Structure formats: structure tokens, C-alpha cells
A and B are shown apart, each in its own frame.
Chain A
Amino acid sequence: MVNLKINGIAVSVPEGSTILQAAKLANIRIPTLCYLKEIQCIGSCRMCLVEATGARGLVAACVYPVSEGMEVRTNTPRVRKSRKTSLELILSTHKKKCLSCVRSMNCELQKLALEYNAEEDKFGTDHDIKPIDDLSPSVVRDNSKCIMCTRCVAACEKQTIGAIGSKNRGYAKTIGSPFDVSLAHTPCVNCGQCVVACPVGALYEKSSVADVWGAIVDPSKKVVFFTAPSVRATLGEAFGLPVGTNVEGKMVTAIKQLGDISCFNMDTTADLTIMEEANELLSRLKNGGATPMFTSCCPGWIKFCEHYYPEFLPNLSTCKSPQEMFSALLKTYYCKKNGIDPKDLYVVSVIPCTAKKFEITREELGNYTDSAITTRELAKMIKEAGVDFVNLADSPYDDPFGLASGAGAIFGATGGVMEAALRTAAMALGDADEPIVFNEVRGTQGLKEATFTLGGKTVSVAIASGLANARKIIESIKSGEKNYTFVEIMACPGGCVNGGGQPYVHDEVRNSIDLKTLRAQALYDYDSDSAVRCSHDNATVTNLYNEFFGEPNSHKAHELLHTSYVARPKY
């Protein structure tokens, strides 16, 4: 252990720790901009500068290692002045259209500028308005607001995509795709990890809020919303509630206050996915189809596979994602049952994800979803409608897609789809114990593997979240080192709870809590409190098969609930 003092407070930290880490232990806050836990640590923004004995000038706390007897000062006039000047230099090239900015009141630069009394125009305003890239259906880039922290680049590298990088250097430096092409024309998988890494308003989702408002006031349209499993666990954050608060009831009430809207539970089609996927897997094993079978609910992962591992496309489950199954169901079964012309039904999915916005544009899925809005966009609509979210009473989801199983809810966390599938597989394979909880597949670590014996059969599974981990698993399968029956892959580290469409979390909070675990816990608690825990026990799903589909993987199910994939070039 190394002993040092920070602002006179003695701390003892493991050797190799940085000043920033030591300060956290002493409960001393050091501001950061370019630093982001697990993503980037390069000491370039100069916000975390501190005085340290033995160092010549001010040092960057995020990268400077502690040493025995070191004395650190984080709050001297020299330090404060330096931070203020750094902020003023950043502000001099930043498009300061704060009032209408997507990040206003939630912007890390704005917050620091206020704290350090930085003047917007100390060094004049010298920014040329750079073109906005909004050709991607998922992510918009406004480089006039970019502060060159490169957190987005690091997040993209971390996903092993590298669709964006820096160009030129010094004052001419910009961030974007190679050769200035639009992000839409790169192998970007639309995961949106760049968006949630951005400290300012330079990156945001392509908004569908205006379209949805338009449909709500259109008398010829019947508007239906359905919400993805993880949204209940994160939406509250946008209204100041603690991370990991389940706000399902308030969310449904709030959506109904936006207009005459029916609000459904997407967990229903998560359950439906399990029924289709489990049967598909059993038939692959029986008929010698491609194995291991990979899950197909995550549109970021699907596009990744199409770009980087087209040879594994036959291994992808042909099941559509829960979003697309739901929309197909609404525009067929639901419309027929309620005498609605499908063109008058406006289907809105609320998702934690920017890649889902790309997914709804895929022709082969039938274009059944009219708009896909992120958790952040829903929060924006609720605020715009003047709804007092925190004090709302709970409402249940609407029939006939209100009740679902806890298995469907845990789809929102890494390992959740696998656990839901294992519950149903245990039933299908006639396992007498009917196990519900599979602890081996839980947890937010990026790579998990386990082997189970269910009904006398050995089932070997693997789970990856984050595309770097997806790559590792695929490479190990490719080389023959590993062999699995079933593999779950989610593009975002931790799964949908950490999706690119989830509420912005300030670096300071993100650096100090385990965001993924807290959000996931809300879903696991929801599951353990659920009356129905298994997809095959979901009465709505059973009813759908009886009334409409016949049986899993039937002709009709194939027509509406399954899809195909296409290899895509990398460049």
C-alpha cells in the first residue's frame, strides 16, 4: 500500500493507483471530462489537473500514479485557474446553443463551466459551423459541439468497430468517419455506446419524437406503445429517481397521459421469442442444423455479425427480435381482432437502444414498426407533456398484451435471454426439478459460460455482452477451441440496461457506481416478484398459439415471427 495525503487527508491505496482513484477513497471530487471508467484514460482534457509534490507542473490526476509520502492539493487558486482556463478554451470552439441542446441541464461541460465560473466568450467564439451528419437512422453527429474528448472514439474502439476516429491534428482535428463519409456508410452497428459516452450534445439519437406527436394528434390513427423490458428499470433516472428504480407503473400512466394510447408490455414477445427460439434450437439439434445457435434479439449484434462474421449467419436464430415480433403481431392479429385497418394503427416501440431505429428500416422485417423511440425520447415526451412523473400513480399495461413472465423481463440484462431459454428448455427436456434460477448465467461480466444437465441432456452455453467479447467467443468457436449448444450475444456491455438509448449518466456518477449491475438488479427483482416466471407459462402466449399461430415454428409463425440476414461489406 502507498500512503499519501490529499488536501491534508491521509489515504492508503494499492501501488499503481492514480491520484484520481486515491481521491475517490478520500471522498474528494476531482472533475474529469475525457476520463471515463472502463472506456478511456488518456489525461488529455486537463480538467483533472492537481498539484502534487515531486511533480514539476500540475499533473493529470486520472493518469498520474501515487507515490509514498506524496502530498496532493486539488483545490488551490492555481488549480482552479488552470481548470477555468481549460474550460474557456474548450468553450471558445464549442457551439454554445445551450437552450435548445439535447443535453441542456444534463451536459458535463455546462455543469463544469458553471462550477468554475468559466466565461463563454473569454477567448471569443471561433467555431465554424460544421455539417451535421444525420444520415444514419440511429445516431446524429453535430461536430460543432464536439469538444474532442474522444470518449466516443474510445467507446467505438472498445466495441472493436472503430467506425469513427480522429482526423488531422491540433486545431484542425475533427472526429468522424474516415474520408468524411457519413456514419450511415460505415460498418457502424448503431449500438449507440458513443452517444452515452459523449459528455456534450455532439452525439444524440435520430429523434422520432415529432413523428410520434404527429400520430397522437392524428384523428385517423390509433396509437399503440409497447415498452422493452429494461425501460422500466432506467426511465426513472431521467426524473431524478435513484439508479435501479423500477418505474413500470408510473411509466404506463405517463404514456397514457400523452394521449389516447394503448400501452403494452414487450415482455410478451420476449416470451414469444423464447418459445420460437427454443423450438428452433431443438429442431436444429434434431435435424443437424447449424450450431451453436446464436440469439437474434439484439440488432447491434446482428449487424455486427453481418459485417464481420458473415460465415456465421446460418448460426443466427431466424427469430425476429421481440420488437419486430410485437409489431408484426399488432399489425396482423391485433388489427384483425379489433377491426382496425393496419394502416390506421401507429405502432411505437420504446426501446433502450439506438440500433432498434435501424432495425425498423429493414425491409425483410416487414416494416411493421412505425417509430422506435429511446428511453431518453420517452422521457423527453413526458417532460414536454408537463407530466409530474415522480408523483404519478401506477397503472397496469393494457390487455391483451399486459401480463408476461419474469423470464421476459430479464431479457434486458446480459444472460437474461439465456436464463429465460434455460427455464423453458428444462421444461421441454422434461427436467423434473424445473429449475428457475440459473446463477451461472447472471452477472454483468462480459463473458460467461456454463454447462447444465437438463432432463438428462447436457446443454453447454456461453454469453457475451459487448462486441469485443462477442468477437472472443466467435473466434474461440471458429478455431474449434470451444463448442456450445447456444450462445447469447448482446452488443452493449451489460446488455440492454446499458443500451445506447438509455438516460445519460454523468461521468462522475458512472465512474463511481456499478451502473449495469444496479439497473440489472431492478429486473431480477421484478422477475423474482413475478407470479409467472417462465415464458411457456405465459397465458397470453399460450393463447396466441391456440388462436393464431397453431404451434411454435408453424408456417404462420415463420411468416410473421422469423426473418433472414444478409452479409454486409466492411468498407
Chain B
Amino acid sequence: MSQNSFNGTGEQEKALREIIAKHRSERGCLMPILHEAQGIYGYLPAEVQTIIAEELNIPLSEVYGVATFYTQFSLQPKGKHRISVCLGTACYVKGSDKILAAVERELRISCGECTPDGRFSIDSCRCVGACGLAPVMMIDEDVYGRLTEKDIPEILEKYMQD
């Protein structure tokens, strides 16, 4: 189960049931439903997967199997600010693993997780097309390049206020 407690709204659930109703008669409807469900909730918690299994009358294990098979699906909630550290070849040789470790240390969560206050989530990615600036990290739409470990606290501080 996800570490953060589920706090989906009635509105989200209504939207979820609508998209299930929209797709249910299609063959292979589970993928588009999971995709749109993630659009509604930002991730695919157990509660959402259970509703999908119930509505489609398929075992929960099947929904869970698909949701964990594809990396595009997340079972962890995403933060208000999404951090993405590039682990592509160029960034990696420039030490982006240390950048990722520094972010994890600073926020006290692991890659793939979300802080308990919901402010930050960390993911890794493969190349954002800014290899000249390696190592690179993105926070939301902002790109930070030529990073060193000691830059991290200051950068994160900018997103602490809003």
C-alpha cells in the first residue's frame, strides 16, 4: 500500500467511474482506463485499482499486474513539485547518481516516493536533451544544469515557499 494515506475526492471518483463507463466495452480497455485514472489522481493507489477491478469485474491481481508492469504508471503519489533527475549516459558519467542521492538525502525519501507533506516527489529519467549541461535535474518545467551536490539545498529552498 502507498505510504501516503489516500485522500481522493468524491469528484475524482465520479470522474473515474465515468471513464470506466466510457471505455468498458472496448477490447483491452484496462490500459486507457489506467492511463486516464492516473490523469485524475496523479497516481494509481490501491483504492483506485480496486474500483477499476470491481467495475470491470476482473481480479485485482490483473489490474495490479498491468499497473506495475509499465513504468509510466505510478503507485506512489506525485508531489506538488516533481523532481526528475536525469540518469542518462552523459549525466551519469558526470555523476548524476550523486545528485540523486543528495536530493534523496535532503528530502528524506527515496526515488519514486513522495514527501509526507505532498510537496516533493522524486523520479529519475533518461535524458532530457540537455546533455551539454550535464548533470541535469528538472523540477516541474525548470531545468537545472551543471549541478554539484552542494547546489541542491538552495534549489529546493525555492520551492518550499508557495
Contacts and interface: CB of A to CB of B under 8 A. Distances in A.
Interface stretch (B59-67, B97-105, B121-129, B150-158): B59-67
Interface residues on B, range: 10 to 19
A178 interface: yes
A431 B68 CA distance: 61
Given A162-B60, A163-B59, A167-B64, A178 B69 contact: no
A165 B61 contact: yes
A168 B69 contact: yes
B13 to A, nearest CB: 16
Contacts of B53: 571
A153 B65 CA distance: 11
A571 B50 contact: yes
Contacts, number: 40
Given A178-B49, A179-B1, A179-B46, A571 B65 contact: no
B54 to A, nearest CB: 8
Given A178-B49, A179-B1, A167 B59 contact: no
A162 B62 contact: yes
10 contacts: A161-B59, A166-B65, A167-B65, A169-B69, A178-B63, A178-B64, A179-B64, A570-B54, A571-B50, A571-B54
A164 interface: yes
B29 interface: no
Contacts of A162: 58-62
Contact of B61 (A164, A168, A169): A164
A162 B49 CA distance: 14
Interface in B1-32: 1
Nearest first, the 3 A-B pairs at minimum CB distance are A162-B59, A165-B61, A178-B64
A23 to B, nearest CB: 32
A45 B53 CA distance: 29
Interface of A: 153, 157, 161-169, 177-179, 570-571
A166 B60 CA distance: 11
Nearest to A169: B69
Interface in B62-97: 62-65, 68-69
Given A178-B60, A179-B1, A165 B46 contact: no
A568 to B, nearest CB: 15
Contacts of A570: 54
B55 to A, nearest CB: 12
A133 to B, nearest CB: 14
Contacts of A169: 68-69
- Which of B49, B60, B63 is most buried by chain A, counting CB atoms within 10 A of its CB? B60
- Which of A179, A570, A571 is most buried by chain B, counting CB atoms within 10 A of its CB? A179
Contacts of A177: 61
B62 A165 contact: yes
A168 B69 CA distance: 4
A571 B60 contact: yes
Contacts of B69: 166, 168-169
A158 to B, nearest CB: 12
B65 A165 contact: yes
A168 B68 contact: yes
A179 B49 CA distance: 10
A471 to B, nearest CB: 11
Contacts of B49: 178
Given A164-B61, A178-B63, A570-B54, 10 more contacts: A153-B61, A157-B59, A162-B60, A163-B61, A165-B61, A169-B69, A177-B61, A178-B60, A179-B1, A571-B60
A169 B96 CA distance: 25
A164 B60 CA distance: 9
A474 to B, nearest CB: 14
Contacts of A163: 59, 61
Nearest to B59: A162
Contacts of B60: 162, 178, 571
Contacts of A157: 59
A166 B70 CA distance: 12
A166 B46 CA distance: 16
B74 to A, nearest CB: 13
A531 to B, nearest CB: 48
Contacts of A168: 68-69
A167 B62 CA distance: 9
B68 A167 contact: yes
A570 B50 CA distance: 10
Contacts of B61: 153, 162-165, 177-178
Nearest to A570: B54
B62 to A, nearest CB: 6
Contacts of B68: 167-169
- Which of B49, B53, B65, B69 is most buried by chain A, counting CB atoms within 10 A of its CB? B65
A163 B64 CA distance: 11
A520 B149 CA distance: 71
A153 B62 CA distance: 10
A157 B46 CA distance: 20
